[in-house]
Amino acid sequence: MSLLDQFFVYHPDPWKDQDWKARSGLPLEDVWFTAADGTKLFGWYVENRATAAMILWCHGNAGNIINRLENLRELYRLGLSVFLFDYRGYGRSQGRPSEEGLYQDSFGAHDYLTRTRMIRPERIVLFGRSLGAAVAGELAAQKPAAGLILESAFPSIEAVAKFHYGGLPVHWLLGADFKLIDRLPQLSLPKLIIHGDKDDIIPLELGRQVFEAAVPPKFFYVIEGADHNNTYQVGGAAYFRRWAEFIQAVLQS
């Protein structure tokens, strides 16, 4: 792992102690669990109802789970249960982030749902946003699930670096690869790929590359006017309706 990864790839925020359950109005359940390599991690488990789809959420490279509360509230309103966790080094989770470490974290989260909560994989839909899309893609290659939602995804760190630095091979200085594009041809589960057409961090062109690399069944949903961080806000009711349609379809298949 390159030391530069800690400056360019991972941007975790420390935890802030507040009564997040009261502030959010959600039935947040604090969960401590372990990554596949034993690292101690923290997350929030939000159960809507016992029969609801369970969203296993791999978030992006910045902040921590606190920053996802507004989005989490909308998913709960949609009737979904959610397990949202922090990677190592983020929020209350221990350790230091790395590519392999984040994969290990996601494996541990999946194990927590299936082994501790006894949730069947047929009820689990994996959701990854931005960097988390690469994590969710690796998770889908290693663990069973009903479907996969990738939002603001990129093919690889190399592709992102070349976009931002005029084609220069800046990625050579980084240890992280996050080659989602190598995983996609292996994934036969249904995939919904979402991207904002005004994204200036991960441009729509890179999102299209992700979609083109995926094998069917796959669906591409472009949100007009959305940038990298406001897809669900700009997308509004139509965005969540597309979520609901996809999830209903994969749970019935």
How far apart, in whole angstroms, are the C-alpha atoms of residue 173 and residue 4?
7
Please give the C-alpha separations between residue 83 and each of 15, 76, 158, 176, 217, in angstroms, as whole numbers: 18, 11, 30, 25, 25
Of the residues 93, 106, 130, 156, only one is catalytic, namely: 130
199 is catalytic: yes
Write the Ramachandran bin of 6: left for phi over 0, alpha for psi from -120 to 50, otherwise beta.
alpha
Nearest in space to 121 (alpha carbons), one of 111, 134, 133: 111
* Secondary structure (DSSP) of 142-157: HS--SEEEEES--S-H
Angle at 100 between CA 243 and CA 126, to 5 degrees: 15
- Whether omega for the bond prior to residue 217 falls within 30 degrees of 0, making it cis, is yes
Of the residues 5, 86, 105, 199, only one is catalytic, namely: 199
Nearest in space to 237 (alpha carbons), one of 223, 220, 251, 219: 223
How far apart, in whole angstroms, are the C-alpha atoms of residue 45 and residue 157?
30
130 is catalytic: yes
Residues that are catalytic: 130, 199, 228
